[in-house]
């Protein structure tokens, strides 16, 4: 008979990782406020803090849901990568932009990548197999947007164009694909008997 009172080492690890994650979120929000006291190089407005808070707290909330959804580490890490890709995509586009500057309206296309991942996740009811397909779709869409932006010259005139669009499209596509592979692994593990 299993002793339900015995502590599970995974529960302790999960709790420690959650504490580290939320501490990191708080640190990322407090750091600019502290830096503004000591240097003129950092100038955040109230809307910058609201945007950063929404992105970081939203990402933390989604990560919390992923941890509660499955005990499989491949599922949790896959979800973490998807959340990381979404948060970084929002952050980079809000701060400097991928296609030209942050003011270039073409950067709004990257919201479709996050939306595709989200809609796919909801449509699959957060099941591993469906999440894997949603992340592959997000990777493909990420690559297509980058390729179209480069081929059409949407960022011409900005510094280092087209390098940021090419490099970031590749990096983000790889993150989405890594997430897909982890969800695929979780789906296979869950399908195995025992």
> If you average pLDDT over residues 109-118, what whole number do you get?
97
Whether this model's pTM surpasses 0.75: yes
pLDDT tens per residue, range 127-149: 999 999 999 999 999 999 999 99
How many domains is the chain built from?
A: 1
Range of the domain at 91: 9-191
What percent of the chain shows pLDDT beyond 70?
Answer: 93
For residue 193, pLDDT over 50 is answered with no
Say if 85 falls within a structural domain.
Answer: yes
Say if 44 falls within a structural domain.
Answer: yes
> If you average pLDDT over residues 35-55, what whole number do you get?
91
Say if 3 falls within a structural domain.
Answer: no
Looking at per-residue pLDDT, the higher value among 119 and 20 belongs to 119
Say if 125 falls within a structural domain.
Answer: yes
**If you average pLDDT over every residue of the chain, what do you get?**
90
Say if 56 falls within a structural domain.
Answer: yes
Say if 19 falls within a structural domain.
Answer: yes
Taking Cα atoms as reference points, which of 126, 123, 93, 118 lies closest to residue 108? 93
């Amino acid at each position: 008979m299993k002793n339900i009172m015995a502590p599970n080492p995974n529960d302790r690890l999960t709790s420690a990782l959650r504490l580290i994650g939320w501490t990191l979120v708080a640190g990322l929000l407090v750091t600019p406020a502290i830096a503004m006291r000591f240097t003129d190089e950092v100038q955040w407005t109230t809307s910058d803090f609201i945007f950063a808070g929404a992105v970081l707290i939203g990402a933390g909330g989604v990560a919390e849901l992923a941890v509660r959804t499955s005990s499989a580490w491949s599922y949790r890490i896959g979800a973490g990568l998807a959340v990381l890709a979404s948060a970084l995509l929002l952050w980079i586009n809000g701060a400097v932009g991928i296609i030209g500057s942050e003011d270039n309206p073409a950067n709004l296309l990257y919201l479709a990548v996050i939306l595709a991942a989200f809609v796919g996740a909801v449509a699959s009811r957060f099941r591993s197999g469906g999440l894997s397909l949603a992340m592959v779709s997000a990777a493909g869409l990420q690559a297509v947007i980058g390729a179209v932006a480069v081929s059409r010259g949407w960022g011409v005139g900005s510094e280092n164009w087209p390098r940021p669009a090419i490099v970031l499209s590749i990096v983000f596509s790889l993150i989405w694909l890594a997430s897909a592979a982890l969800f695929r692994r979780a789906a296979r593990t869950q399908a195995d008997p025992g």
